[in-house]
Amino acid sequence: MAEEHRGPTLPQHRGPLSAAMSGSLRGRQALPDTTAVSRANPYGDDLQLALYTCYELHYRGFDGVDPDWEWEPSLLAVRAALEERFLTALRRNAGVRQSLEHVLANLLVESVDGGGVSEFLEKRGTLDHLREYAKQRSLYHLKEADPHVWVLPRLSGRAKAGMAAVEYDEFGGGRADRVHARLFADLMSDLGLETDYGHYLDTGCTEMLALVNAMSFFGLHRRLRGALVGHFAAVEITSSPTSRRLARAMERTGAGPSAERFYREHVEADAVHEQIVRRDVIGGLLAEEPELEPDITFGITATSHLEDRLARRLLTVWDA
């Protein structure tokens, strides 16, 4: 008999919602009450961890948790309440009334004060800073591009072909050693970090949880396919210059060849991906479904909002 696949361990709870969620998956208590969800901080540790736990059932699952929980109706009802609380906050904080053209143009404008995370790491970052950054980003990069695959069945024509072309690169172009999640694990090895999927979930800050949750949320819901495309555009358009700075940070600190390789790979690849996403994915989707333009815009602004929250958290800690 083949060895049973073991996912990561359930995370330590951060409040009553996440405690009830983990407890129910262990078979020890009832699921969280939706009334409690309506009172929770939509960006708080407790709600974001409970939602992350729900979503992880669609990825690798958890060690010792019955796979049937993935589509358990009672859990999906709680997840819907968590999602609605989160989405309401995102629309309130990031649902700006700007044209898609304007929002896309803003992504190409870099801050003149150089006050971002990648600028900090490039100029002042230590190996400890880089390790902390890698731990946080591992919540996404060890499953890089996985949340975006869910949108493929919801697209057609040029949009589908363009998205599939970019994803093919993200998954290594048919080579397991070039899968971007594998490259990030190699980066973590260079930094002396554990590479097991989900290992650093308990150290993941709420801002990082929210960012990964938004990807999963947009990807799992067909009605939010435009938002997922917008999110993907924000990631690909901003990735190349950010990756160039991070590659320099890895080189300056002597982090190691695999650490440098991960970001240098993204400098070139994402410069090409940006053009495909703008021309084929966004252009193709709008040609077929022009009514989705506000959703694409929202996906971009929501991603920028969540990235800004993460940046403020990291820089506040590092500056202190």
pTM score above 0.85: yes
Q: To 5 degrees, how large is the angle CA 112–CA 118–CA 122?
A: 95
pLDDT of residue 199: 97
pLDDT of residue 107: 86
Q: What is the mean pLDDT of each run of 10 residues along the chain (320 residues)?
A: 65 97 94 94 98 98 96 97 98 89 84 77 97 98 96 97 95 95 98 98 98 98 98 92 96 97 87 88 97 97 97 94
pLDDT of residue 5: 56
Q: Between helices 45-56 and 16-25, what is the axis angle to 10°?
A: 20
99-319 has which CATH code? 1.20.910.10
pLDDT of residue 320: 83
- Element at 306 (helix H, strand E): helix 293-319
pLDDT of residue 95: 80
Q: Which SS3 state, helix, strand or coil, does residue 205 take? A: coil
* Residues 313, 203: Cα–Cα separation, whole Å: 14
pLDDT of residue 2: 35
What residue ranges do the domains of the chain occupy?
Answer: 16-93, 99-319
- Position of tokens 């948790």? 65
pLDDT of residue 112: 47
pLDDT of residue 113: 55
